[in-house]
Amino acid sequence: MVNSFLPLDAEQLTEPTSIALAKSIQRQEIATSLSEQPILTTYSCQGTGGTPILLLHGFDSSVFEFRRLLPLLAEQHEAWAIDLLGFGFTERPRGVAFSPTAIKTHLYSSWRSLIEQPVVLVGASMGGAAAIDFALTYPQAVQTLVLIDSAGFTSGPAMGKFLIPPLGYLATTFLRQPKVRQRISENAYHDPSFASLDAQVCAALHLKLPDWHKALIAFTKSGGYSSFRDKLAQIQQPTLILWGESDRILGTQDAKKFHEAIPNSKLVWIKNCGHVPHLEQSDVTAQHILQFLHT
């Protein structure tokens, strides 16, 4: 049996890593300055010892994004995956402005409550932009930075600012369609066979949560993450940049630009891999992260 706060569709999961993650997910009330009431925050923690590793998922995703990577890292480290504010299975309180600033505020409060020691911060896609933002604002909380096919070098699309009702609702209704999500999933992989039935369930579970579409519209209208290009030189932490050689979502040019802009960084290309190395080449991704930390 999976956790009761997950949608019933979680019973359709078939892959062992997906089922194991569904069983490991926890919820905790996190007090923040964003709301008078604490925010029920969803996370999974596995493993013990070593410097804690904290994983941040991408846009319109959840902790299930790390179902394959999390247990591999947990073999040597205490490893966490957390649902960012406005995404995944974390509560979406009424009256909270879902924006990069709110995400950072909630993440810092979660870090204080759950971990409260410097972490290896790993961000994938939009989670990479969130990780950069967090590391620049709270450098004392981040020991090492890992960016996986990261957003944040260039600004996101400005069209979200014009998602006024009913256009915003129509856009999220379109995004919710299984065929649309399947096409996005297949495009994210080098090998489209990874876009399996189990992967479809993992990617769609959080759509069942209350106010999913409202939070997504609000975040998009906020403008999302802007470019950190002019601030990357301020990153103090050793930084590992992992990038799929066949990334068709963000392309490959930003990988080199991140490497040139971040002072103490290392760029590693993942072969036969698209936008999501942590799903498509999880063993290789874990190996590179652990080697980087131990050397």
What DSSP string runs through 36-76? SS-EEEEEEEE--SSS-EEEE--TT--GGGGTTHHHHHTTT
Q: Say whether pLDDT at 162 is over 50.
A: no
Average pLDDT value over all residues in the chain: 92
Residue numbers of the domain that contains 128: 8-294
> Across-strand partners of 40?
29
pLDDT of 158 reads 42
Residue 210 in domain = yes
Calculate mean pLDDT across residues 132-154. 97
Residue 1 in domain = no
8 Å CB contact between 266 and 164: no
pLDDT of 177 reads 82
Calculate mean pLDDT across residues 162-171. 51
Residue 163 in domain = yes
* Segment 23-71, tens digit of pLDDT: 999 999 999 999 999 999 999 999 999 999 999 999 999 999 999 999 9
Residue 256 in domain = yes
pLDDT of 156 reads 63
Cα 238 to Cα 158: distance, rounded to the nearest angstrom: 31
Calculate mean pLDDT across residues 151-179. 63
User: Regarding predicted confidence, which is higher, 287 or 218?
Assistant: 287
Percent of the chain with pLDDT over 70: 93
User: Domain of 218: which CATH number?
Assistant: 3.40.50.1820
Calculate mean pLDDT across residues 270-291. 97
- Token pair listed for 153: 């070098």
Q: Say whether pLDDT at 163 is over 50.
A: no
Q: Say whether pLDDT at 168 is over 70.
A: no
Contacts of 216 (CB under 8 A, 6+ apart): 60, 86, 172, 175
Percent of the chain with pLDDT over 90: 81
Calculate mean pLDDT across residues 189-194. 94
Contacts of 16 (CB under 8 A, 6+ apart): none
Residue 3 in domain = no
Residue 214 in domain = yes
SS3 for 264?
coil
pLDDT of 295 reads 84
Residue 80 in domain = yes
Residue 73 in domain = yes
Supply the pTM of this predicted model: 0.94
Count of structural domains within the chain:
1
Calculate mean pLDDT across residues 96-117. 96
